[in-house]
Amino acid sequence: YLNSESTPKGPFVPTQADYQKVYDAVAKRLADETDYDDGSYGPVLVRLAWHASGTYDKETGTGGSNGATMRFAPESDHGANAGLKTARDFLEPIKEQFPWITYSDLWTLAGACAIQELGGPTIPWRPGRADKEVAACTPDGRLPDAAKDHRHIRDIFSRMGFDDREMVALIGAHALGRCHTDRSGFDGPWNFSPTVFSNEFFRLLIEEKWTQKKWNGPVQFTDKTTSTLMMLPTDMALIKDKAFKKHVERYGKDSEVFFKEFSDVFVKLLELGVPFQTEERFVFKASE
């Protein structure tokens, strides 16, 4: 006969409510841990989600957020990933609290959470990524090199399957965070509110006058008005290239259009190469 004890229990299948709990835990940790950089780990979480996803190669179907292979050397030691241990360590207590979530789902969910919590657009998200072993690590050189030009941006991002408009929209995320001399060698934030998601990156790119910074570090640009902000060579490429500049102007003028188009393309970035079982995306409720 059957009683409750002999009824087989299936594996734990998390629901949207379970993922919202993970979101809430990341949001709470972001609100609690303010003794870092400009007061938030949010920007470095966005960078982790992007570097996990941006290794995708559409020709071979390799790389992308499915796998979380940045847990392992050699990928964790790739120059482009310098400093991201900070973000991975920040999420470790969340992984301990919710052991059922994969690292690859957690890293992308945390990126979506950070964008929302820093005042950005909603980033609809869906689960389904599985962690892979060290053998799935991608080769070095798949992420962009900030010292390069518009051709490099097109090479790297078209390998992931993005068009010009999508490339420009994505790079608006440089409203967040800063460069660190001990990570990339570059130095400084892109705008005065690096913990607020906005279209400031585009507005400043157009409205400020940018000159090459005089220092011993790598070539970067600084604003004429305050000499405290920065642009990378790849950021400057967005106003040198006419096809890119058209979108910089659109986004600099209209924050609503930027938010909408950014959300669509960031969702696409986080999903590159993932064999999802579900069509449905979750819209997480942001904290107050």
Q: Which residues bind ligand HIF (CB under 6 A)?
A: 43-44, 46-47, 50, 83, 144, 146, 153, 170-171, 173-174, 176-180, 183-184, 186, 232, 234
Nearer to ligand HIF, 123 or 170 (CB): 170
Q: How far is the CB of 96 from ligand HIF (least distance, A)?
A: 23
CB of 60 to ligand HIF, least distance (A): 20
Question: Nearest distance from residue 75's CB to ligand HIF, in Å?
Answer: 16
Task: Please state the φ and ψ torsions of residue 223, each to the nearest 5 degrees.
Answer: -80, 140
Interhelix angle 164-171/150-160, rounded to 10 degrees, is 100
Q: Which CB, 170 or 274, lies closer to ligand HIF?
A: 170
Q: Least CB distance from residue 181 to ligand HIF, whole Å? A: 7
Q: Kindly report the length of the chain.
A: 288
DSSP 192-234: S-TTS--SHHHHHHHHS-EEE--SSSS--EEETTTS--EE-HH
Catalytic residue among 125, 190, 210, 247: 190
Query: What is the nearest approach in angstroms of ligand HIF to the Cβ of residue 258?
Result: 12
For ligand HIF, which is the closer residue by CB, 16 or 122? 122
Nearer to ligand HIF (CB atom), residue 190 or residue 282: 190
Given the complex with ligand HIF, which of 43 and 252 has the nearer CB atom?
A: 43
For residue 153, the one-letter residue type is I
- Dmax over CA atoms of the chain, in Å, equals 82
Q: Which of 51, 78, 150, 247 is catalytic?
A: 51
Nearest-CA neighbor of 192 among 175, 210, 173?
175
CB 52 within 8 A of CB 109: no
Report d(CA 258, CA 12) in Å as an integer.
38
Residue 272: both structure tokens together:
């590159």
Q: Cβ distance 287 to 24 under 8 Å?
A: yes
Distance CA 56, CA 95 (A): 24
Q: Which residue of the chain is nearest ligand HIF when measured via CB? A: 177
| Residues 91, 105 contacting (CB under 8 angstroms) | no
User: Among this protein's residues, is 190 annotated catalytic?
Assistant: yes
Q: How buried is residue 35: exposed, middle or buried, by Cβ count under 10 Å (0-12/13-18/19+)?
A: exposed
Taking the least distance from each CB to ligand HIF, the nearer of 180 and 250 is 180
Tokens of 88: 């991975």
Active centre residues (catalytic) = 51, 190
